[in-house]
Structure 1
Amino acid sequence: MIAVTNVYCVGRNYKKHAEELGNDVPSEPMIFLKPSHAVCAMNDGTVNLPQNSGEIHYEAELVLHIGRAYEPGIKVEDIVGSVALGIDFTLRDVQSKIKAKGHPWTAAKGFRNSAPLTQESKFPGFEALNEGWFSLRKNGETVQRGNIRNMIFDLQTLVDYIGEHYGLGEGDLIYTGTPEGVGPTQAGDVLELYWNEEKWGGCTVG
């Protein structure tokens, strides 16, 4: 498993996802954090999640693994060491309650194992990323399918925004946002992440 420092996550970065949850489309990147302890390997093992806190939703995402420190003007292809796929697990009932109170999202987003991550792959270049699709299969059925061309804020915008506002360094991860199709998962579900038709990782929900 890779060494991880900061885990940045981008909320509502796909218009149709924001709409499916009844949220406004943001005018600038919406960034939240997960603890590094949220990250775990999607190596076809069991990922244990809190099963007594209401609905747990999956959110499949392209993940950037930062390979060097951010400097103004640096290009995505120069700062990203590799890419992976991941899931931003969300305690949806908990999130609804704390959002209504105006409280931080940590309780709904930052629990242990809430950011499982697949194997890494060398940054393939923008042409390959733009032409490729990532998808999540739940018990063999495709439930999410995304392409970075549909992002509201592109990868360069995300790197610049996070780097300038918060800093980026070697070992940081950026979960770049999820497309439409998020939904509930429960113990026993098998979740698999694919890049095009190649499986990059999977897990059984525990």
Structure 2
Amino acid sequence: MISVQNIYCVGRNYQLHAAELGNRIPSKPIIFSKPTHALVEAKGQSLIVPSGEDELHHELEFVIHIKQPYQPGRIVTELVNQFALGLDLTNRDEQTRLKQKGHPWLLAKGFRNSAIITKLRSFEGIEASQAHDFMLIKNGNIVQRGNLNELIFDLQTLIDYIGTHFGLGKDDLIYTGTPSGVGTIHSGDHLQMKWGDEILGECIIEIE
């Protein structure tokens, strides 16, 4: 597992995903974070996640790895050296309860094993990345499919926004948002994250 300093996540960064949850398209990036203890690499193993009777959702994401500290004017290819696919697991019932109270989402987003990630691969630039779709396969069926050209806020916008408001440093990760198709995970589900024709990571979810 890579050494990670901060895990930033972007909410509602695909129009169809915002629509499927009944949310408005944001006018600026919605940023939240996950603890580094939530991060786990998908290597084909079983992963235990706490959810109880609450509904657990999968959110597939394109993840970028920052190689050096952010400075204004630095472009994506100067700051990003690797990418991965990731799953932002969400306790949807808990998130709904927290939103109704106006509370932060941490309990719904930051639990153990809620930031699943594949192995990292070399980032070859935005255009090269847009040449591939990324997919989540659940029990043999494609349930989510996305492409970087569908982002509401592109990678440069996200990097500038996060770098300006929070700071970005070496070994930070950004989960850039999930496409439509978010759905429920049940105990025993087999999840595979696919980049083009290649499976980058997979795991079996066990809910406790």
Does the alignment pair 1:126 with 2:135? Answer: no
For 1:41, the equivalent position in structure 2 comes to: 41
Deviates more, 1:127-136 or 1:142-151: 127-136
Q: How far apart, in 1, do the equivalents of 2:148 and 2:127 lie?
A: 11
For 1:107, the equivalent position in structure 2 comes to: 107
For 2:68, the equivalent position in structure 1 comes to: 68
**Structure 2: tracts of 5 or more residues without a match:** none
Q: How far apart, in 2, do the equivalents of 1:165 and 1:46 lie?
A: 36
Q: How far apart, in 1, do the equivalents of 2:123 and 2:178 lie?
A: 19
TM-score when normalising by structure 1: 0.99
What's the secondary structure of 1:159's corresponding residue? helix
Q: How far apart, in 2, do the equivalents of 1:126 and 1:10 lie?
A: 18
User: How many residues are aligned here?
Assistant: 206
- Supply the AA of the counterpart residue of 2:145: R
Q: How far apart, in 1, do the equivalents of 2:72 and 2:199 lie?
A: 35
Q: How far apart, in 2, do the equivalents of 1:197 and 1:37 lie?
A: 30
For 1:142, the equivalent position in structure 2 comes to: 142
For 1:20, the equivalent position in structure 2 comes to: 20
Equivalent residues of 2:70, 2:163 under 8 A apart: yes
Q: How far apart, in 1, do the equivalents of 2:97 and 2:25 lie?
A: 20
Measure how far apart 1:140 and its partner are. Answer: 0.7
User: How large is the Cα RMSD of the aligned pairs?
Assistant: 0.7
Q: How far apart, in 2, do the equivalents of 1:60 and 1:200 lie?
A: 13
- Supply the AA of the counterpart residue of 1:131: A
Measure how far apart 1:51 and its partner are. Answer: 3.4
Equivalent residues of 1:83, 1:122 under 8 A apart: yes
For 2:8, the equivalent position in structure 1 comes to: 8
Deviations 1:66-113 (A, max 9, x none): 111001100111101200000000000000111011100000001010
Measure how far apart 1:53 and its partner are. Answer: 4.5
Structure 1 segments, 4+ long, off by >3 Å, are none
* Change in CA separation of 1:138 and 1:54 when aligned onto 2, cut-off 3 Å: same
Equivalent residues of 1:51, 1:187 under 8 A apart: no
Q: How far apart, in 2, do the equivalents of 1:103 and 1:115 lie?
A: 21
- Supply the AA of the counterpart residue of 1:120: L
Measure how far apart 1:127 and its partner are. Answer: 1.6
Q: How far apart, in 2, do the equivalents of 1:45 and 1:173 lie?
A: 22
Deviations 1:132-156 (A, max 9, x none): 1100000010000000111100000
Identity %: 53
Equivalent residues of 1:53, 1:93 under 8 A apart: no
TM-score when normalising by structure 2: 0.98
For 1:199, the equivalent position in structure 2 comes to: 199
Equivalent residues of 1:65, 1:173 under 8 A apart: yes
Q: How far apart, in 2, do the equivalents of 1:26 and 1:94 lie?
A: 22
Q: How far apart, in 2, do the equivalents of 1:53 and 1:43 lie?
A: 26
What's the secondary structure of 1:69's corresponding residue? coil
* Change in CA separation of 1:73 and 1:53 when aligned onto 2, cut-off 3 Å: farther
- Supply the AA of the counterpart residue of 1:64: I
